[in-house]
Amino acid sequence: MFKKIVHTLFLLTPVSLSANEPVDWQLGFQKSASKTMDDIVWFHDYMLLPVITAITVFVLFLIAYACIRFRASRNPEASTTSHNTVIEVIWTLVPCLILIVLAVPSFKVLYSQDEIPKADVTIKAIGYQWYWGYEYPDENIVFDSYMIEEKDLKEGQPRLLAVDNEVFVPVNKVVKVMITANDVLHAWALPSFGVKRDAVPGRINETWFKADRTGTFYGQCSELCGIKHAFMPITVNVVTEEEYNQWLEKAKVEFAKEEIKNNIKVAKKIKEIK
């Protein structure tokens, strides 16, 4: 029994030790891997949670107090008071002040996600029904990323989260993500980086992240996009600069953008005709 309780408590620890993916019985956020996510976690843990707790406890106290103090047996003759200017001013002003105090760090985090620093790597994520396509516009790399079926999973690959072609980015570098979709609304979301942006057909949304540790990070499409919405996960490998360059070399061959080859062919043809 004791073991069970300890085990449950361990599972309920908000930040699971090194997981970059959701874990069973998880409460709270996945472990942060970027400054943006650190800020989001701070805002949640030290601003939202205390305010929510204080308000809940205060309201619970008021309800309990009213139930006991003004119960019928103790208070046979009900008061006819219906207005109290002081109290009304207080219960209007206090929530306003709370919202203003919350707005400051909230907007700070929001705008830090919007203002993209000079990017070291740019990737484009395109949502399709139901997989993600990726482009590295500066490297002429294009590939699609499909979920690995349960029966094909290899050791250590999480179910419903692992993909065949993973995204690679270097650690401690600013990665700009351009997000769009080709058919319906999707959303590119990676909890550990604090990134979530809608993928809208016909427009490009931008965001960025700077991963501060290496590892494999998992995310999912976060906009209900159809019957296989749950089966278009996102896998991002954060690797060292060296490993990234190695991958780039390989990827430039394996995932070379065909359009460019076609363009060259077309250019050649035009020359021939001329």
Segment interacting with Cu ion, rule: CB under 5 A, options 66-74, 166-174, 215-223, 235-243: 215-223
The reply to whether 234 sits near Cu ion by the rule CB under 5 A is no
Taking CB under 5 A as the binding criterion, the range among 21-29, 63-71, 182-190, 246-254 that sits at the site for Cu ion is: 182-190
Does residue 221 bind Cu ion (CB under 5 A)? yes
Burial code of 16-27, b = ≥16 C-beta within 10 A, e = fewer? beeebbeeeebe
Closest CA to 233 of 1, 4, 16, 21: 21
By C-beta, is 188 or 247 nearer to Cu ion? Answer: 188
Residue 167 CB, shortest distance to Cu ion, in Å, is 16
Cα 178 from Cα 123, distance rounded (Å) = 6
Question: In whole angstroms, how close is the CB of 183 to Cu ion at the nearest point?
Answer: 9
| Residues pairing with 205 in the sheet | 179
Instruction: Verify binding: residue 41, Cu ion, rule CB under 5 A.
Output: no
**Contact in structure between 164 and 274 (CB atoms under 8 Å):** no
211 binds Cu ion (CB under 5 A): no
Q: How far is the CB of 152 from Cu ion (least distance, A)?
A: 21
CB of 130 to Cu ion, least distance (A): 6
- How many Å apart are CA 161 and CA 253, to the nearest integer? 26
Tell me if 126 contacts Cu ion by CB under 5 A.
no
225 near Cu ion, judged by CB under 5 A: yes
State the nearest-atom distance from the C-beta of 202 to Cu ion, in Å: 16
Residues 183-202 that bind Cu ion (CB under 5 A): 186
Site track for Cu ion across 140-179, x = CB under 5 A: ----------------------------------------
Which is nearer to Cu ion, 225 or 236 (by Cβ)?
225
C-alpha 210: how far from chain center = 13
Identify which range of 23-31, 65-73, 225-233, 260-268 contacts Cu ion by CB under 5 A.
225-233
Q: In what order do the strands lie in the sheet with 175-181?
A: 141-145, 131-136, 121-128, 175-181, 205-209
Among residues 175, 146, 189, which one has the least CA distance to residue 22? 189
59 contact partners, CB below 8 Å, separation of at least 6: none
**Do the Cβ atoms of 124 and 135 come closer than 8 Å?**
yes
Task: State which residue, 163 or 251, has the beta carbon closest to Cu ion.
Answer: 163
Contact 90, 184 (CB under 8 A): no
125 binds Cu ion (CB under 5 A): no
Euclidean distance between CA atoms 123 and 58, whole angstroms: 48
- 181 touches Cu ion by CB under 5 A: no
Which of 127/194 has CB closer to Cu ion? 127
Widest CA span of the chain, in angstroms?
103
The CB-of-184 to Cu ion minimum distance in angstroms stands at 7
Shortest Cβ distance from residue 199 to Cu ion (Å)? 7
Return d(Cα 23, Cα 15) in angstroms, integer.
10
Which positions touch Cu ion (CB under 5 A)?
186, 221, 225
